[in-house]
Chain A
Amino acid sequence: MTLQDIVISLKTYWKDQGCVIAEPYDIEMGAGTMSPLTFFRALGPDPWRVAYVQPSRRPVDARYGENPNRVYQHHQFQVLLKPAPDDVVERYLQSLEHLGLDRRQHDIRLVEDNWEAPSLGAWGLGWEVWLDGMEISQFTYFQQMGGHECRPVSAELTYGLERLVSYLVGVDEIWAIEWAPGISYENLFRQVEWEQAAYSFEHASAPVLLQLFGLYESEAKRLLDLRLIRPGYEYLLKCSHIFNTLDALGAISVTERQAYLGRMRTLSRLAADKYLTSESNIEAKEGTVL
């Protein structure tokens, strides 16, 4: 079984659950939650089901490709079900069975893990899903997004693809995963990981990034004020990635963090406010805009 087989299998399963199978968003981000397909669609009253793979960049987790499991960029398989169905946990467990995992042979546990994204003004309650002691998924009931109460509540399921696959195919390090027949994860990403780590830890320029953060922030503000919601939000995503890189550089102290997160939270609230009162959202309600 290859990684792409598993992705296709998950897509099939969730397509059959009524999800739109979407493509990754084309701006660098730390988690699938930040995709507009989740961030905006979790807001407001309309039902919505979507699943997509989102490459997720975490500069602080970069290890020059030397760590067996930790990488600069991993892949999340993200599912959003709005409203959360009553049997959502069972549906998740059946997705694992769809991948060929017999739940009777494994220890599956839901361990408390409450989720908070201070930069998104968002929080939810949920669990980590442990498969034989390994965290393979995050499961969250969104309570708030962009500073707004989520009504109805969505359930977000996020599979950590590398971990899940390495477990399913029985390899000890993600480098040994076969992405496609004859193409290993190592093949695709080892050198990339080295380059990204070297950039994040050594060659990124804090002064340049700090300046970019300020520019992107003011662009986001300017565009959101013009009610250009997606372009504005995209600049917020850029801010977020720059912040993560500065963090990896060690250029942001524990307390400065709070200030930066606060600035991004202000933008995400603004984006959510504009979205909820926008024309395009009203169109979305009528089903003309995806």
Chain B
Amino acid sequence: MTDRHSSADMRSILVEVGLEEIPSQYLRDIIENFGHLMRDELRNQRLNVSNLQAWATPRRLVVRAWASKEQEALRERVRGPLLANAYKDDEPTPALLGFCRRVGVSPGDVTTIQDGSKTYIGAEIEQPIHPLEELLAPAVQRAFAQIPLVRSMRWGHGDYRFIRPVRWCSLWVEETFIPLVIAGVPGSAETYGNRTNHPEALAILGTQDYDRALDQGLVMVDQDKRRKVIETQARGLARSVSGYLDPDEELLEEVTQLVEWPTPFLGRFDEVYLEIPEPILVTSMRVHQRYFPVHKTDGTLLPYFIGVRNGIGDDLDMVRHGNEKVLRARLSDALYFYRTDLGHALADHRPQLDRVIFHAKLGTYGDKIARIHSLFDATRAAWPLNETEKDQFKLVIDLYKADLLTQVVQEFPELQGVMGEIYAQAQKFPNAVAVAIGEQYHPGHQGDRIPHSVMGQILVLLDRLDTVLEGVANGLKPTGSEDPFGMRRSALAIGRVLSESEIWQEPAYDLFMLAAQLLNLERTAADESYDLVLSRLEYHLDVTQGIPAQKSRAILAAPYPWCSYPRRLAFLDHILADPHWEGVALSFKRIDRVMKGIEVPKDPPEWDLPVEQRVWTVSQRAMAHQNSATHWWQTVQELSTAIDALFDAVLINDPDPDVRLKRGQLLAYAQKAFNLFFDMRQISV
């Protein structure tokens, strides 16, 4: 292959696939994949591709590029008959002649190919070269068919599937229209403008003419350009009322992918609605209407919003008026709900929680609250709160679910917790109480944080512990892709609070055992819950920090609080880099291989041999270094030498059963010393 191509060898290509509105959240992935797949398919055909651009609007996927006008030359060696069968009396045999005919070379031009001990006839042949025009449509069709989709549909009569129906397509090399069929739809030399301004067909004359056609149809096909237009104009509109926009990549991307030709506009709502707490206003605007809220420089909201319409109208007043009306209706609802809620104390809702089912098998919210109280009461001494705070926390438990019964939360379920905090503040509860209620849903989505406040952390820990333990005990454990009760998310919240906060200073497993006892659950519920939490946390650490699961399990499975995780991780990295690590791991493996569930003896027996005595003594010393990993590590290295000496000197599986048992007990003790800080089996094998 040559590195450079004269532009004379390259041709501009363009494909447009027209569809009904693709959901905005998937559009970017779909078009990027289409672009990559087309590049791959063309390159697989020995066609060079450069300057590939993949653009999309809700109604069209467009890929443009330069591609070589024909395939690269390819010489290939092909194998023929065995040399021994190729000639007879120096004359070509029918086998050789047949081969030559098949690949199109003369018998005088063949060479030989050695394969092991055998020699074959070989020939160099030129692969035929096909023009771009012939290869392009199949490549595009294959690329389109491979676009990965989260969810697809059928339409009309056909069995074709895509995310939304395909309605037209068009493929070009320079000024040449190339026939193709995408999802049963034959190509045509035309496109369509945006639905509002130019619903009729528009002729395309070639790749260079496409931009003109789209300009005429008022379609801005480059998503990054649409985004820029929205961002710039929306900022300008905000400035016109002395406001600014909070950076909001998610919303910006969404509105970019909802329109073919963006026209931002400024709308206003009555100042009376500013009485509504900001989270409700922002949710109404952002989530329900896809508007950008406008802030003052002090961060508070202005009574304005910025919407983005699709297409261009004679004037925007009709659109603005319509949008203002819709928002007014929503805010008038919200204000009514909010005022109604303020008329009640959170505690007023508490009795009704006894009648709201948390889960059919797990009882009502009232039941859940009672269980959280009992978990907290039994562990009261363990939490880093003073007595006043502990009493406040009891109030948190009583009230943290009360907002479920407020009108605002019934209307905006995504504001659960947030409204609880607002109403608790309105009732002049201590700040810590309100904040803890507000933090109860963290961590929510992936990448979310755990609560900042200690009370919030304890609340999340106890709440999810109840959910997971009771869930496991009642057969709600997730299986495969099924997790209707969201147990995995709850389990991860436990793992993250235990490892990212300092609130629980005992081994994690102890908490599961204690909680299971308090909830009158079997020990297996504690074990299974613990395993679920451990595996979710391992997965999380792998995904977010790239820590392999064996390594995190080595740390988490040792009986230390999970909050010491970062320190122990650093120390583990330190010893894994130590030149002595290999030797220690090897000795551990030797023990691990012969151990079969033998217990450490309560009283040390008399050791007959000095090599045995030494293993015992060094293990004892290592066990004494519970508070100093550095000393433990030095001693373990010594222990490793002692173990190797023992294995070299004696047969562990001695024919005498008494001796065999004693040696097993000795190794069990050494194994315990090895496992003092880490579960060595996870990292040594």
On A, residues with C-beta under 8 Å from B are 67-70, 83-86, 89-90, 93, 103-112, 114, 124-125, 127, 131-134, 141, 143, 151-153, 167, 172, 250, 252-256, 258-259
Contact = CB atoms under 8 A, between A and B. Distances in A.
A108 B196 contact: yes
A143 B199 contact: no
Interface residues of B, number: 52
B154 A259 contact: no
A168 to B, nearest CB: 11
B151 A67 contact: no
Given A133-B323, A253-B356, A254-B357, A112 B23 contact: yes
B195 A172 contact: no
A110 B195 CA distance: 11
B307 A133 contact: yes
Contact of B259 (A90, A109, A125): A109
Best-surrounded residue of B323, B326, B336 (most CB of chain A within 10 A): B326
B153 A131 contact: no
Given A132-B323, A133-B327, A105 B154 contact: no
A107 B311 contact: yes
A172 B325 contact: yes
Nearest to A166: B325
Best-surrounded residue of A68, A93, A108, A109 (most CB of chain B within 10 A): A109
A256 B357 contact: yes
Interface string B254-274: 000011000000000000000
B222 interface: no
Interface string B304-334: 0001011101100011011101111100110
Contact of B314 (A103, A105, A127, A153): A105
Interface in B343-402: 355-361, 364
Interface in B478-523: 484
A132 B258 CA distance: 13
Contacts of A69: 329
B448 to A, nearest CB: 22
A259 B360 contact: yes
A103 B163 CA distance: 26
Contacts of A143: 153-154
Interface of B: 20-21, 23-25, 58, 151, 153-157, 163-165, 167, 195-197, 199, 258-259, 289-290, 307, 309-311, 313-314, 318-319, 321-323, 325-329, 332-333, 336, 355-361, 364, 484
Query: 5 nearest interchain CB pairs?
Result: A253-B357, A132-B322, A112-B23, A107-B309, A133-B323
Nearest to A127: B21
B154 A153 contact: yes
Nearest to A82: B156
A153 B357 CA distance: 39
Contacts of B318: 105-106, 132
Contacts of B24: 111-112
Nearest to A172: B325
29 contacts: A67-B333, A67-B336, A83-B157, A84-B165, A89-B195, A90-B199, A93-B195, A103-B195, A103-B199, A104-B197, A107-B309, A108-B195, A109-B258, A109-B259, A110-B20, A110-B58, A132-B321, A132-B326, A133-B289, A133-B327, A134-B326, A141-B165, A151-B154, A172-B328, A172-B329, A250-B355, A252-B357, A253-B359, A254-B358
Contact of B360 (A86, A90, A256): A256
Given A68-B329, A68-B332, A256-B357, A125 B323 contact: no
Nearest to A124: B153
Contact of A104 (B155, B314, B484): B314
Contacts of A133: 289, 307, 322-323, 326-327
Contacts of B197: 104
Given A69-B329, A93-B195, A103-B196, A109 B310 contact: yes
Given A114-B151, A172-B329, A253-B356, 13 more contacts: A68-B329, A70-B333, A84-B155, A84-B165, A104-B197, A104-B311, A107-B323, A109-B258, A132-B325, A141-B154, A143-B153, A152-B156, A153-B156
A110 B157 CA distance: 23
A90 to B, nearest CB: 7
A93 B319 CA distance: 17
A112 B345 CA distance: 39
A173 B364 CA distance: 38
A106 B196 contact: yes
Contacts of B163: 125
A253 B327 CA distance: 31
A106 B313 contact: yes
A141 B154 CA distance: 8
A14 B323 CA distance: 28
B157 A152 contact: yes
B602 to A, nearest CB: 50
Contacts of B307: 107, 133
A142 to B, nearest CB: 10
B199 A93 contact: yes
Nearest to B259: A109
Contacts of A153: 153-157
A141 B314 contact: no
B157 A89 contact: no
A114 B289 CA distance: 17
B542 to A, nearest CB: 32
Contacts of B319: 105-107, 132
A131 to B, nearest CB: 7
A246 to B, nearest CB: 12
A134 B324 CA distance: 10
A118 to B, nearest CB: 12
B349 to A, nearest CB: 12
Contacts of A167: 322, 325
A66 to B, nearest CB: 8
Best-surrounded residue of A67, A104, A110, A124 (most CB of chain B within 10 A): A110
Contacts of B311: 104, 107
A146 B153 CA distance: 17
Best-surrounded residue of A84, A85, A107 (most CB of chain B within 10 A): A107
